[in-house]
Amino acid sequence: MGAHCGHDVGFDGSDPSFRRALLFVIAINFLMFGVEMVAGHISGSQALMADALDFFADGVTYTISLIVIGKVLRVRSIAALAKGMSLLLMGLWVMGSTIYNVIFIETPKAEIMGVIGFMAFLANVASVLILMRWRDGDANVRSVWLCSRNDAIGNVAVMLAALGVFGTGTGWPDLLVAGIMAILFLSSAIKIIKQGKRELASSLGSSYKNRSSV
């Protein structure tokens, strides 16, 4: 991460170029959600469907990020907390569904997993490169960067799972990757929630001081 990741407050996303970049990334995420969800059902891949859900959640949370840009710190920090909680719930859902599939395991189609995973990887690398210059912003902006980075890592994992499924002829590599992705979601959720809480506390403290000085 960048040098400013430990700061309570950073770039708030008000740059018009960031807004345009975010709109483009939102479009990428919703498009890949549809592609991966269909491919996940066809291939029977839990990892692909988990990644598709991640694309959808990112598209929604990026839209929230776009809406709250320019708002006061308190509003932006509350939005970041909401996004962190949604990421936490998604991680728990992926973890639970992975455990379920361990019991009712089926072997996914490795070829579809590999091709779609590579397409998703290219989409997320594009998103990461687009957002690179704004990775050190406040919790609201930083959450966008973290989600895009996680997606790219997750896509590499899906491609590795496809190789594992192809090599072993079993669905265990797919389930292993889905579990790892769930842990990554939970870790990022905790980071976003912690920074959002710090910024919310900072905004409330500033409001209290302003009222006291009147």
In Å, what is the CA distance from 213 to each residue of 72, 73, 201?
Answer: 19, 20, 18
> How far is Cα 115 from Cα 135, in angstroms, rounded to an integer?
29
Domain ranges of the chain: 16-213
Q: What is the pTM of this model?
A: 0.64
pLDDT in tens, 19-48: 888 899 899 999 999 998 898 888 877 778
pLDDT at 35: 93
pLDDT in tens, 103-150: 655 667 778 888 888 898 898 888 888 877 776 666 666 667 677 777
Instruction: Determine the CATH number of domain 16-213.
Output: 1.20.1510
- The number of CA neighbours under 13 Å toward the Cβ of 20 is 3
pLDDT above 60 (res 12): no
> How far is Cα 124 from Cα 55, in angstroms, rounded to an integer?
9
